[in-house]
């Protein structure tokens, strides 16, 4: 009932499978009003809330597992919003290189890879505490450490929906970014996004407003913000994923990065609409577009990225940037509160 709004207003919700339940109206009321037969577990169990509703962050198998993970989770967070996150001593060198990252990106731009491999390899001790792993899988969020200090990770996942942003992914990332900003946790964005997910279901569901939540959250955040563009960064999705245009502090790109309004095929079909009557000409124009824009150097000359970095140096370059931004202070114009597009 109404008591369910208590966990809903907290920052994070952990549940245990087969013993934890949340619902505004129980199965008996649902059956009486809508004539739907549904069990407690189906209506408001851990699996439902971690995969469909997104109300809960993680569902654990047992109480013991939940408590163990809760202890590890709390180690990442400061005691209050006036403190910095705790720093844990580490033997993992800040300048550690990862040669395997140089071959992470497939040669075929339409092939996927697991962004979690990149995340774990750049973090201290290769440890990543992922949140909401079963909800909106096309974006990955969670905590790790760099030089012993907590960082929040937001990364597109090419293995789900090709890494496109949709309604659920936008809301998931926006809420996480706002929490990091509340508690002085630097944000690291790893970008490989071909755009927002097209379709009537997304548009009718309010993708414009929900996507704006991510834009709003990142633009409003005053903590250190470091972005690395891994591969595709197209159009509006490029803008909202930690771009310079939203006050990203340091923006890097791998040599495989493509920063443009859209992919070469779509761009050619629009720019040369009506002028191309055979496949050979279309292919020539596509290759011309790729040569011009399918690399990070064009946008580099315009100041949209700070440097093109080699993948194996990613950890070291991010850490150097976080060191530089350690005492960052950014004052916002006074107002009672912002009006995020809820």
User: Has 136 been annotated as catalytic?
Assistant: no
Catalytic residue of the set 26, 205, 236, 266 = 236
Is position 237 annotated as part of the catalytic site?
Answer: yes
Beta-strand runs (E) in the chain: 14-16, 58-60, 129-131, 139-146, 149-156, 187-193, 225-234, 250-253, 258-260, 307-308
Q: Which residues of 155-193 are buried (b: 16+ CB within 10 A; e: fewer)?
A: bbbbebbbbbbbbbbbbbbbbbbbbbbebbbbbbbbbbb
Burial class of residue 65 in the structure, from the number of CB atoms within 10 Å of its CB (0-12 exposed, 13-18 middle, 19+ buried): middle
The active-site residue, picked from 2, 3, 274, 303, is 2
46 as an active site residue: the answer is no
1 is annotated as an active-site residue: yes
Per annotation, catalytic residue among 136, 173, 217, 237: 237
CA gap 311, 135 in Å, rounded: 28
Cβ-contact 100, 118 below 8 angstroms: no
Instruction: Give the DSSP per-residue string, 251-289.
Output: EEE-TT-EEESS-HHHHHHHHTTTT--SHHHHHHHHHHH
Helix extents (H) in 96-143: 115-122
- Which candidate in 1, 3, 274, 303 is catalytic? 1
Q: How big, in percent rounded to 5, are the helix, strand and coil portions of the chain?
A: 40, 15, 40
| Active-site annotation, residues | 1-2, 236-237
């Amino acid at each position: 009932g109404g008591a369910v709004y208590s966990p809903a207003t907290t920052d994070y919700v952990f549940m245990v499978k087969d013993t934890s339940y949340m619902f505004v109206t129980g199965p008996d009321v649902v059956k009486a009003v809508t004539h739907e037969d549904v069990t407690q577990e189906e209506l408001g169990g851990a699996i439902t809330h971690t995969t469909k509703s997104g109300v809960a962050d993680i569902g654990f198998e047992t109480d013991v597992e939940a408590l163990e993970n809760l202890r590890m989770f709390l180690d990442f967070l400061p005691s209050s919003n006036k403190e910095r996150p705790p720093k844990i001593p580490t033997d993992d060198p800040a300048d550690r290189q990862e040669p395997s990252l140089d071959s992470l990106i497939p040669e075929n731009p339409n092939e996927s890879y697991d962004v979690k491999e990149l995340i774990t390899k750049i973090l201290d001790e290769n440890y990543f505490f992922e949140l909401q792993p079963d909800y909106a899988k096309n974006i990955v969020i969670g905590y790790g450490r760099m030089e012993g200090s907590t960082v929040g990770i937001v990364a597109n996942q090419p293995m789900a929906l090709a890494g496109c942003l949709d309604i659920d992914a936008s809301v998931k990332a926006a809420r996480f970014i706002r929490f990091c900003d509340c508690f002085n946790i630097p944000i690291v964005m790893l970008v490989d996004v071909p755009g927002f997910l097209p379709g009537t279901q997304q548009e009718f569901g309010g993708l414009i407003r929900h996507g704006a939540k991510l834009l709003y959250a990142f633009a409003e955040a005053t903590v250190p913000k470091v972005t690395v563009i891994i591969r595709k960064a197209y159009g509006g999705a490029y803008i909202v994923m930690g771009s310079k245009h939203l006050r990203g502090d340091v923006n890097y790109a791998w040599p495989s990065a493509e920063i443009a309004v859209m992919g070469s095929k779509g761009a050619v079909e629009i720019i040369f609409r009506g002028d191309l009557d055979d496949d050979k000409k279309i292919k020539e124009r596509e290759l011309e577009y790729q040569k011009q824009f399918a690399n990070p150097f064009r946008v580099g000359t315009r100041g949209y990225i700070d440097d093109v970095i080699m993948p194996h140096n990613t950890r070291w370059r991010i850490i150097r940037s976080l060191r530089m931004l350690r005492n960052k202070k950014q004052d916002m114009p006074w107002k009672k509160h912002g009006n995020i597009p809820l």
